[in-house]
Amino acid sequence: MATEPVVRNRVDRRRERTRNALLGAARKFLSEGRYAVSIQEITDAADVGFGSFYNHFESKEQLFDEAVRSVLRVYSELRDEIVTRYDDPAEIFAVSFRMSGRMQRQIPEMIRVLLHSGMSVLLHEEGLVPRARRDIIAAQEAGRFEPMNPELAVMAAGGAMLGLLQLLDVDPEADAGALADEMTLHMLRMFGMDQSAAQQLIAGPLPPLPQL
């Protein structure tokens, strides 16, 4: 039996706008590294009433956590759209890493949210971490990567990615594509690929970045 589509009324749409405004304000503060803001400052930045805050979030910490998760979801959706055309898990990992560095130039404010979250962003069991883990394990099983503890591999790749994104953030003139490809090469080599195979993976053309 087919389910009836959910029809959102005006109240639902207003609640969604308020929630999105609060999340947008939180992302802005997080991108600036401003954690010690009050709920009043957040609602003022979102241009919503103070009382509206507690209709959506129990605390500032919950809002900030959801703001980080919202960035991870956007980031992951962009990545998923990019890699749909690839089958080789090693190539999927390489393309994901290469494109992630380039995304810093497309969504710098969102990237700063992740950077200001530090290594803790790698502990979220959603977003990029489970995808990277899945790709690494698949590449190991396919004989493309040498055996390595998947959790250690994810942390190594995640730490390298955060370092790359931080470098690109502080140096707007840096060549994001060249640096992303160089870091990808080092990651592939660390995972056991020989120089020739790794260079082949970073030499291929990339699809255009999806539009937000």
pLDDT digits (tens, 9 = 90+) for 127-172: 788 999 999 999 999 999 999 999 999 999 999 999 999 999 999 9
Q: Are 53 and 19 in contact (CB under 8 A)?
A: no
Domain boundaries, the chain: 10-57, 65-203
Distance CA 115, CA 69 (A): 13
Q: Which long-range contacts (CB under 8 A, 24 or more apart) does 10-13 make?
A: none
pLDDT band for position 212 (cuts 50, 70, 90): low
**CATH architecture group of domain 10-57:** Orthogonal Bundle (1.10)
Please state, for a pLDDT cut of 90, what percent of the chain lies above it: 71
Please state, for a pLDDT cut of 70, what percent of the chain lies above it: 96
Reply yes or no on whether the pLDDT at 1 is more than 50: no
Q: Are 109 and 27 in contact (CB under 8 A)?
A: yes
The pLDDT, as a whole number, for residue 8 is 61
Note the Cα 91 to chain centre separation in Å.
19
The pLDDT, as a whole number, for residue 3 is 52
**Structure tokens of 81?**
């759209």
DSSP 82-94: HHTT---HHHHHH
What is the Rg, in whole angstroms, of the alpha carbon atoms belonging to the chain?
19
Domains 10-57 and 65-203 share a fold: no
Mean pLDDT of the region 59-85: 90
Coil, helix or strand at residue 31:
helix
Reply yes or no on whether the pLDDT at 182 is more than 50: yes
CA distances from 127 to 72, 137, 141, 154 (A): 5, 17, 22, 13
pLDDT digits (tens, 9 = 90+) for 14-37: 889 999 999 999 999 999 999 899
Distance CA 40, CA 112 (A): 23
Coil, helix or strand at residue 206:
coil
The pLDDT, as a whole number, for residue 58 is 93
The pLDDT, as a whole number, for residue 53 is 94
Task: Write down the H helix ranges in 47-175.
Answer: 60-83, 89-106, 108-117, 128-141, 150-170
Residue with token string 């971490």: 129
CA distances from 38 to 25, 166, 182 (A): 12, 27, 42
Reply yes or no on whether the pLDDT at 124 is more than 90: no
DSSP secondary structure letter of residue 29: H
Give domain 65-203's CATH number out of 3.40.50.300, 1.10.10.10, 2.60.40.640, 1.10.357.10: 1.10.357.10
Mean pLDDT of the region 39-61: 94
